[in-house]
Structure 1
Amino acid sequence: MLDSKTPDGTAMFTSDRAVCPAHAPADHPRIPPQKVGVLLANLGTPDGYDYWSMRRYLNEFLSDRRVIDYSPWLWQPLLQLVILTKRPFTSGANYKTIWNHAKGESPLATITKDQTAKIAETMKARHGDDVMVDYCMRYGNPSTASKVRRMIQEGCQKILFFPLYPQYAGATSATANDEFFRSLRSEKWQPAVRTVPAYFDDPAYIEALAQSVERTWEAMDDKPDLLVTSYHGVPQRYLTEGDPYHCQCQKTTRLLKERLGWADDQIITTFQSLFGPEEWLRPYTVEEVARQAKAGKKKIAVIAPAFSADCIETLEEINEEIRESFEEAGGEQFTYISCLNDDDAHIAALTKVIDENLKGWLD
């Protein structure tokens, strides 16, 4: 039901439950009942692995000043004339190896939809129609702006925005929040909003990680010699400039080790996805797994605690490139532990974080 439109013809409210406010004249636009929106946000995904889909996605991603903060006068010519001429081919080929061909989408899109559906089911059981749960992507589709607009159309006068990054980084959490607030600039009736902080040390999140490791260990007759926690890297410079990401990653690993009851030498922290000429956070995963193999650690497992869902960096980079580096250095047994994805313990942890951040709005 489309009740009222903005000057450009866009529907303001679409809810079937929209009613005319009490004491208002009969011709007053109908307004849906108030509800609270929970908008999950992940990094993003290309629409396809063909050249132009990849180019659009990479252009949006690599043009973000939170991701690449070099001067546009220097960066954009290099990006447009060199990087985006070649990289869409190689990135597209990598995406093709992991693509969900049955659904015509990337694994990240599939998993984020599954996570959203499970969280929505839980919230509906607790709050009925008073809470609306949806998801968006920082880059690509569905865009943040489109989902903010839809929530407002559905009567969400309060929105909790949840970047699905356990550890905070300017290049992930901050840019997701930036895009969310930019989306609000075009809304005539802005909702009240909150953003969810990083949950890198939340006990339920640590418990979900620990359970995933324990399940892997229990299923193996020949246990790994070492657990490698591989986090997405950022330039070393970001740490000295005040970004807390490195410290939060280290704390996640420490808390996981303590929960598992392991010794210090059974688990290490590394960083992957190096890009550009700068020094990034070390040790680099691709180099460290090879060093460990040469040092006698022939059986390792790798987990990626910074990713809430499996994606190109885990399914292709870790499970293919990093695995290859380990095996070429003499490693014999490489085990990748999947991201938490839509595992029940993970959904419970995310729902707990949501409930804590909704306090006062639903009480």
Structure 2
Amino acid sequence: MTAPSTTAPDSKPAGHPPVAAAKVGVLLINLGTPDATDYWSMRRYLKEFLSDPRVIEIPKLAWWPILNGIILTTRPSKSGKNYASIWNNERNESPLRTITRAQSEKLAAAFAGEGKIVVDWGMRYGTPSIAEKIDGLKRAGCDRILIAPLYPQYSATTTATANDKAFDKLKTMRWQPAVRTLPAYHDDPVYIAALATSVERSIAALDFEPEIVLASFHGLPKRNLELGDPYHCHCLKTARLLREQLGWPEGKLRATFQSRFGKAEWLQPYTDKTVEALAKSGVKRIAAVMPGFSADCVETLEEIAGENAEIFRHNGGEHFAALPCLNDSPEGMAVIEHIVRRELLGWV
């Protein structure tokens, strides 16, 4: 009988080159951003975004002429102006990039004393790309990676496409890291409590009391719901739980959907139409919170704080406030750290 080995499982034979201790990577992912506001930068970004079959579920043969012949000719200039109005000129980047970087840095600081966690961030569209960040985490010694799209409510157009991009990269790797993906957290108590705290603090800082608060979520074509996407249900549950956490009566907080595109019917009620109707009905003071966005971006800073505020005042409203997203606030970082630590159980 052969005597059992007394060599430790992780020991190396004499002369073996040094091997770095295995680490765990966390890759925070957000939607994406153009690199600049000029026509060609916007065109590159929009082409990547609107070429994604998870986003545009139209046969390529029908969609390609529309995209390349019409949309990418006209939309980059308009979108560039929208981005320019909210651009972080000090860092020459979009607020979404600024905030996502800050979230990554603060999460890394929270894990700093634990040694084996490496945190980074990437974008589904534009730069920095998911693929390059997975390469970086692998080079840093990560043999396990948590893919963490920061979308509280699941949709194939957001969470799934971010995961798709990560898996596309994994398919090219001979030595893949093990991966986990972050599930939806639309009803997580820590997330709901953070939203409520942020809303209460933001409203307390206003010089008026809103009669109604809109919880505005990014819209989707109604067809997505009919095909089984759970996003609509997740949004409504978030809004209900937030209202209950705040202790508000029904009607004080209303869920709506923004950012529709094209002629198809999208999830209703529409934010802009609701804002217009409220103003015309005599409501003078409203606020909007955007619980589906983990970071402020063009949809919150320009579309809601700009366009919808103008719609409200144009139709008789007086006071409109777009409340900030959770961003890298203490509440926002508490949510991100909580959901990441929950998924890392058993790995660290």
TM-score, structure 2 as length reference? 0.95
Matched, 1:230 2:216: yes
Q: Which residue of 2 aligns with 1:6?
A: none
Task: Report if aligned partners of 1:270, 1:282 keep a CA contact under 8 Å in 2.
Answer: yes
* Poorly superposed stretches of 4+, deviation over 6 Å: none
Q: 1:25/1:190 Cα in 2 relative to 1: closer, same or farther (>3 Å)?
A: farther
Matches within 5 A, 1:1-363: 22-24=11-13, 26=15, 30-125=18-113, 127=114, 129-362=115-348
Provide the C-alpha distance between the structure 2 equivalents of 1:322 and 1:25, rounded to a whole number of angstroms: 69
Letter in 2 for 1:64: D
Provide the C-alpha distance between the structure 1 equivalents of 2:206 and 2:121, rounded to a whole number of angstroms: 36
Provide the C-alpha distance between the structure 2 equivalents of 1:25 and 1:275, rounded to a whole number of angstroms: 64
Give the deviation of 1:277 after TM superposition: 1.4
Task: Report if aligned partners of 2:208, 2:319 keep a CA contact under 8 Å in 1.
Answer: no
Which sits farther off after the overlay, 300-309 or 208-217?
Answer: 208-217
Secondary structure of the residue that 1:111 maps to in structure 2?
Answer: helix
Please give the root-mean-square deviation of Cα atoms over the aligned residues, in Å. Answer: 1.2
Give the deviation of 1:29 after TM superposition: 6.0
Secondary structure of the residue that 2:111 maps to in structure 1?
Answer: helix
Which sits farther off after the overlay, 41-50 or 182-191?
Answer: 182-191
Secondary structure of the residue that 1:265 maps to in structure 2?
Answer: coil
Q: 1:29/1:71 Cα in 2 relative to 1: closer, same or farther (>3 Å)?
A: farther
Provide the C-alpha distance between the structure 2 equivalents of 1:88 and 1:265, rounded to a whole number of angstroms: 38
Secondary structure of the residue that 2:24 maps to in structure 1?
Answer: strand
Provide the C-alpha distance between the structure 1 equivalents of 2:294 and 2:254, rounded to a whole number of angstroms: 20
- Unaligned 5+ segments in structure 2 are 1-9
Aligned identity (percent) is: 52
Provide the C-alpha distance between the structure 2 equivalents of 1:70 and 1:78, rounded to a whole number of angstroms: 11
Letter in 2 for 1:360: G
Task: Report if aligned partners of 1:40, 1:135 keep a CA contact under 8 Å in 2.
Answer: yes
- The number of equivalent residue pairs is 339
Secondary structure of the residue that 1:37 maps to in structure 2?
Answer: strand
Provide the C-alpha distance between the structure 1 equivalents of 2:205 and 2:300, rounded to a whole number of angstroms: 21
Tell me the alpha carbon deviations over residues 10-39 of structure 1, each in whole angstroms, 9 at most, x when there is no partner.
xxxxxxxxxxx853574x665322000011
Give the deviation of 1:266 after TM superposition: 0.6
Provide the C-alpha distance between the structure 2 equivalents of 1:31 and 1:198, rounded to a whole number of angstroms: 36
TM-score, structure 1 as length reference? 0.91
Provide the C-alpha distance between the structure 2 equivalents of 1:69 and 1:29, rounded to a whole number of angstroms: 50
Tell me the alpha carbon deviations over residues 230-284 of structure 1, each in whole angstroms, 9 at most, x when there is no partner.
0000000111110000000000000000000000011101000010111000011
